[in-house]
Homo-oligomer: A and B are copies of this chain.
């Protein structure tokens, strides 16, 4: 069950980096939703390798096929299976790591867990698994769109370059206007410089994706263990390379006094209940309050570097490993659609769960 996420809008993914295919079954997507293959493909294209010179130059088309659950352009309520065949496999690239435990990769931990592993390109631990999430997330986003909800992730930090503006001062329509997916042009340029520098040093660099979810009605999220932000946190932390999650005032908020931090309620001119500040990040007691939801996700630098590193092999012997092949110097630009997908899946699940809460 560790390959499934969601309670009512539930996905189950499969596939290794260099196996035949990766894919997903979406179970619980309501019937009657309009679906076009193009929308799903569009989401995958945002995640695709080779989309710019600051991502891996691997060319993978990642063409998605829908095998079930859609009839005459609409969902039928039955499981929607989607598959992306693995084309650009180059399995020979990986023979040199068959016995190696690469530093800060999952080679050792998979072996410790299962007594075996598919070493080709990281097997199941590869970020290629997120293809399945992005395809499923595109379906979830369609459901959200039907309810007037939008999810917008963007890169807010690369290395030490941090976007200083809060999301309210940004033009989020500009996220895809540059290759690093930061909606502030000047900051984007500096971020790109940092990525290029890392790339040219045969190194990698980390960063932060911020995400804003607008239009969520008050009442989503389940109290106690399945709080809205707890599920968002789990979903984000389940993405490869993520090291931290915070929402609303986050880690900075701990320095505040209650009298500063509390979000005062008022009734606006349309009679809507709103808050004057939003340190709560749109969530109180684990349940959405109708204000914008926003959160940050920290990504470590990619572990695969093109420099020699000392490590051990599966016999415990010290070896020197030299990364090769085509890898991302910075995962952030391609992480944006993955964050978007997981956020959409979380909200879609809570939308369906909330339907069961009234007599």
Contact = CB atoms under 8 A, between A and B. Distances in A.
Interface in A284-299: 284-290, 296, 298-299
A27 B24 CA distance: 12
A264 interface: yes
A108 B289 contact: yes
Interface stretch (A51-59, A167-175, A182-190, A204-212): A204-212
Given A2-B224, A77-B113, A113-B219, A104 B262 contact: yes
A131 interface: no
A254 B241 CA distance: 10
Contacts of A105: 284-285
Interface string A284-328: 111111100000101111111101011110001110000000000
Contact of A114 (B5, B77, B244, B255): B77
Given A15-B67, A71-B123, A108-B289, 13 more contacts: A2-B222, A14-B78, A16-B71, A71-B116, A76-B118, A76-B124, A78-B118, A104-B280, A113-B357, A206-B254, A258-B303, A259-B305, A264-B311
Interface residues of A, number: 154
A15 B66 CA distance: 10
B20 A67 contact: yes
A305 to B, nearest CB: 4
Interface in A136-174: 143, 146, 157, 159-160
A97 interface: no
A155 to B, nearest CB: 11
